[in-house]
Amino acid sequence: MILEKLRQGPTLSYEFFPPKNPAGWGTLYGTLAETTKLGPDFVSVTYGAGGSTRSKTVDIVGRIQGELGIEAMAHLTCVGHSRDEIRGILESLWNHGIRHVLALRGDPPRGDTSFKPHPDGFAHATELIRFVKENFNFTVGCAYYPEKHVESKTLEQDLGFLKMKQDCGADFAVSQLFFDNENFYRFREQAAALGVTIPLVAGIMPVLDLNQIPRFRDLSGCSIPNKLLGFLGEGPDVLQRGVEFATMQCQNLLQNGVSGLHLYCLNKHQSVVKITENLRGLGFFTPKT
Ligand SMILES: Cc1cc2nc3c(=O)[nH]c(=O)nc-3n(C[C@H](O)[C@H](O)[C@H](O)COP(=O)(O)OP(=O)(O)OC[C@H]3O[C@@H](n4cnc5c(N)ncnc54)[C@H](O)[C@@H]3O)c2cc1C
């Protein structure tokens, strides 16, 4: 169970998304085969903003857990769902043997500028977390934003909402990607001062391509430190430099007591396999015998 592992921590986990087309499935299966060999503590599968991939999340988490024997967590968002639909999805996850859910509000569907809750649904992740905890026995994760959520006015407001998520029953939290560990340390300290005691897992995204950077910044609101740009610019192979930067970021976090690392894979295995091997070489996450 993830909470048990977090207590023994730090944990190592990977995130995947359900593919949109047949070629994507081949890539996902290849990635799963390569990454699950590394024995992560758990993996998670995202929930689409709408459309055909949503039902796949249940399928994939069920298969990862049932066939590969790796603890799998399903992401779930409030977007476009009534309470009854959410209840149905949770029942289906439970029946597939899934015991961990990352409860999220979700982003507005493409084309919408603001989030509009379903008339019989949930407006915030806090409401979804409370619903899951009141009606099911799942271990529940939630999201947090070391540099604040793009819609929040201040970081303080966001810190308060993380405390509310804990008060609604969230058992642990996973961060938005960030490239500057100082922002994470500052957030962790301020959260602790507010009474946040749940494990704060760090979400790390290795840069594979320079074109990704503006997209990361626009979607997540994360800052892009000059340190990262300078580092990536020092060698011809961006992927290799991105892996080295992420390894240094992870090493520093582990040396400073992070509860866990959650690597955003983008369904590609090379970078996360290399980061995991690098961290093992540094004496972290040594394989269990
Ligand atoms: C680790 C991680 C995984 C993710 N996985 C997915 C995924 O699988 N699918 C997907 O579509 N998206 C995913 N997202 C993106 C996420 O859905 C968006 O960031 C979304 O905009 C906010 O989700 P949330 O759960 O943090 O929402 P909330 O916590 O509801 O926050 C949304 C906004 O409302 C504010 N707020 C929060 N609670 C309250 C409250 N009670 N009252 C008033 N205001 C409040 C917050 O400050 C914030 O500005 C993920 C994000 C992270 C960090």
Q: Block means of pLDDT (10 residues each) for the chain, length 289 residues?
A: 95 94 88 92 91 85 91 96 97 96 92 89 98 98 97 96 98 98 98 98 94 89 93 86 97 98 93 97 85
Cβ-Cβ contacts under 8 Å for 112 (sequence gap 6 or more): none
- Count of residues in the chain: 289
| Ligand 1 atom with least separation from CA of 75 | 8
Known active-site residue 147 = no
Long-range contacts of 65-71 (CB under 8 A, 24+ apart): 65/96, 65/97, 65/98, 66/96, 66/97, 68/32, 68/36, 70/36, 70/40, 70/42, 70/43, 71/1, 71/2, 71/5, 71/41, 71/42, 71/43, 71/100
Give the pLDDT confidence score for residue 289 in this predicted structure: 60
| Ligand 1 atom with least separation from CA of 220 | 19
Task: Kindly state if the Cβ of 49 falls inside 6 Å of ligand 1.
Answer: yes
Task: Kindly state if the Cβ of 17 falls inside 6 Å of ligand 1.
Answer: no
Taking alpha carbons only, the member of 169, 2, 138 closest to residue 72 is 2
Task: Kindly state if the Cβ of 277 falls inside 6 Å of ligand 1.
Answer: no
> Given the structure tokens 């043997």, which residue do they identify?
97
Q: Which fold has domain 2-281?
A: TIM Barrel (3.20.20)
Task: Kindly state if the Cβ of 127 falls inside 6 Å of ligand 1.
Answer: no
Mutate to test the pocket of ligand 1, among 104, 107, 194 (most ligand atoms within 8 A of CB): 104
**pTM reported for the whole predicted model:** 0.97
Cα separation of 103 and 125, whole Å? 6
Give the pLDDT confidence score for residue 288 in this predicted structure: 66
Task: Kindly state if the Cβ of 166 falls inside 6 Å of ligand 1.
Answer: no
Q: Give Cα 168 distance to the centre of its chain.
A: 19
- Which among 15, 71, 147, 244 is annotated as catalytic? 15
Give the pLDDT confidence score for residue 270 in this predicted structure: 93
Taking alpha carbons only, the member of 37, 57, 35, 62 closest to residue 46 is 57
Locate the DSSP E strands across 126-191: 139-144, 172-175
Q: Which helix (H) or strand (E) holds 3?
A: helix 2-8
Give the pLDDT confidence score for residue 236 in this predicted structure: 76
Quote the ligand 1 centre to 38 CA distance (angstroms).
30
Quote the ligand 1 centre to 126 CA distance (angstroms).
9
Give the pLDDT confidence score for residue 152 in this predicted structure: 93
Taking alpha carbons only, the member of 75, 33, 62 closest to residue 272 is 33
CA angle 278–280–285, rounded 5-degree value:
135
Cα separation of 145 and 162, whole Å? 9
